[in-house]
Structure 1
Amino acid sequence: MVALRLFWAEAGGLPADDRGLAYGDGLFETIRMAGQKGVLLSRHLERMVRDARRLGIKVSRQELATVCTQAGQRFAERFNDQDWVLKLTLTRGAGGRGYRPDPGMAPNLLVSASPMPPAADASGVMVDFSRVPLTVNPLLAGIKSLSRLEQVMAAAELGSALFEVIMSDSDGNLVEGTRTNLLLRKNDTWITPPSACLAVAGVLRQWLLERLRQSGQAVFERPLTVPDVLGSECQGLFLLNSVLGIVPVRTIAGHDLPVDGVLATIFNPLELLE
């Protein structure tokens, strides 16, 4: 395996001919950190290794784990014991001309840190439906790739009052938010869009589905429709993000939704540090 090339964002970043910059040829992870430990860290690293393999980028879990340890030592004190966000950006590497990558390229890993975003309102947030459709290539489904232009365009619709906008596929089915996965409670069951139709299959989403199934609750992965959300049988809509947590939706496109507190105690970041 070709050795990973490590870059620290504050030390200059990636080279100008990096394929991630030129073509979006890579993927990334954002990890909530508390001190030198990360929330659901092993799942983040496993996803990056698995999805890098799907793209033909060679990186090992041990390499990534070592970098996370170095990042914790480098950044934790900077945030004065406050939670922070670690971002790993992995690209195929630098060099070459055109789309076809050169054989044997050394992958690049850019490491950066930032403060935690503001916490969501625990009583529920306001969201809307996006006018930007979300198209998912089956070959890239679920991969947190660097090609995120649809989410960028949808996020431009966010006003000061909106926490998120929900994106739909070409059939009108609700898929995900710009930065969140969706989970609906309806008739005492749980519904979430199938992973095969997701642009990003979140680590919190997978962890939560496993927890719900282990507790004996009914979980269905099927297309999620607007009538599912706005209908009288809706018991709550939740946005899932491993940095932000489990966020209940209070209002969507001006329609009030029930705010169900059933998930409030399930996700405790302090219990998921690794």
Structure 2
Amino acid sequence: MFNLYWADESGLPAGDRGVAYGDGLFETIRMHGDRGVLLSRHLARMVRDAGRLGIPVAITDLRKACTAAVSRYADRFANKENDCGWVLKLTLTRGEGGRGYQPGSGIRPNLMVSASPMAAAPFTFGAAADVSRVPLTVNPLLAGIKSLNRLEQVMAAREITGELFEVVMSDSAGNLVEGTRTNLLLRVPGVWVTPPAKSLAVAGILRQWVLEKLRAKGEVVEERAVSIGDVLGPHCEGFYLLNSVIGVVPVRRFAGQDLPADDGLATIFNPLDLLE
């Protein structure tokens, strides 16, 4: 079991290891009323990846925290004009204790719960994106975990200005890996292409769900490196950004070049169809 904290009250204690060292992980879940988009998958990922970090947590306890959050927050975001729902954030840390990097013994995890309104999508016919100047380095031990260590993404996100919706980060070889808050999906003739999970800082919930559904429909999906040339070249039929809060976002302009923009995938994979 964990200590439960509400962000609109005191928040986490100053000695929390998540605050001091980024020793923890988080989930952001799109909510509508008392239901969440792919909620079970979010909670299962938190349990799995917390285990990789050596932080004990049970999915039953996380579900209880979500139920309490719905009771606390859902009515605050109900019946609003142009209601887009709300966003539930769960931040799980190793807890409080241990001076320096080495954790103390007998530490009890902390869970901080917060909520915010869901922002309306700022695009209609696709979004503009660019290549970030900030490289992305993925430690194999932490690959895919939505950990609290997000400084590279913070630095890259500072480049999002003007009409840009997102910037895409590259690895040391110059291959496109992921956006600051999104995973990538490219359509070329007869094939869907996405960077492999082992190369990702965050292996997104919606990314995995979309790949499963495409394969179930008989579509060919390849997990391989994606170059800038793949996106800007003549064979690109569509470039998409995936995030379980904002859904599937077609990119209409990338690195200053217009792309074929098709919202068909975004229509098929509507987050509101995935509430549970």
How does the TM-score come out when normalised to structure 1?
0.98
Structure 1 equivalent of residue 125 of structure 2: 123
Q: 1:233 aligns with which of 232, 235, 259?
A: 235
Asked if structure 2 preserves the Cα contact closer than 8 Å seen for 1:39 and 1:242, the reply is yes
Structure 1 equivalent of residue 146 of structure 2: 144
How many residues are paired up? 272
Mapped partners of 1:247, 1:158: distance in 2: 16
Equivalent residues in 2 for 1:158-197 (5 A)?
A: 158-197=160-199
Asked if structure 2 preserves the Cα contact closer than 8 Å seen for 1:184 and 1:190, the reply is yes
Q: Which amino acid aligns with 2:256?
A: G
Give the C-alpha shift of residue 103 in structure 1.
2.0
Structure 2 equivalent of residue 105 of structure 1: 107
Mapped partners of 1:177, 1:151: distance in 2: 8
> Cα RMSD over matched residues?
0.9
Residue deviations 1:127-147 (CA, integer Å, cap 9, x gap) = 110000000000000000000
Percent same amino acid at aligned positions? 67
Structure 2 equivalent of residue 68 of structure 1: 66
Asked if structure 1 preserves the Cα contact closer than 8 Å seen for 2:144 and 2:201, the reply is yes
Mapped partners of 1:208, 1:238: distance in 2: 11
Mapped partners of 2:217, 2:122: distance in 1: 26
Structure 2 equivalent of residue 260 of structure 1: 262
Q: Which consecutive unaligned segments of at least 5 residues does structure 1 have?
A: none
Asked if structure 1 preserves the Cα contact closer than 8 Å seen for 2:126 and 2:263, the reply is no
Residue deviations 1:182-226 (CA, integer Å, cap 9, x gap) = 000001210000000000000000000000000000000000101
Structure 2 equivalent of residue 86 of structure 1: 88
Mapped partners of 1:77, 1:261: distance in 2: 32
Give the C-alpha shift of residue 272 in structure 1.
1.1
Give the C-alpha shift of residue 112 in structure 1.
0.2
Q: Which deviates more, 262-271 or 12-21?
A: 262-271
Q: Which amino acid aligns with 2:54?
A: G
Q: Secondary structure at the match of 2:264?
A: coil
Give the C-alpha shift of residue 160 in structure 1.
2.2
Q: Secondary structure at the match of 2:8?
A: helix
Q: Which amino acid aligns with 1:163?
A: F
Give the C-alpha shift of residue 257 in structure 1.
0.4
Q: Which consecutive unaligned segments of at least 5 residues does structure 2 have?
A: none
Q: 1:26 aligns with which of 20, 24, 27?
A: 24
Mapped partners of 1:104, 1:122: distance in 2: 51
Residue deviations 1:145-192 (CA, integer Å, cap 9, x gap) = 000000000000110210000000000000000000000000121000
Q: Secondary structure at the match of 2:234?
A: coil
How does the TM-score come out when normalised to structure 2?
0.97
Asked if structure 2 preserves the Cα contact closer than 8 Å seen for 1:120 and 1:247, the reply is no
Residue deviations 1:69-111 (CA, integer Å, cap 9, x gap) = 1101110110124300000000000021000001221000000
Q: Which amino acid aligns with 2:243?
A: N
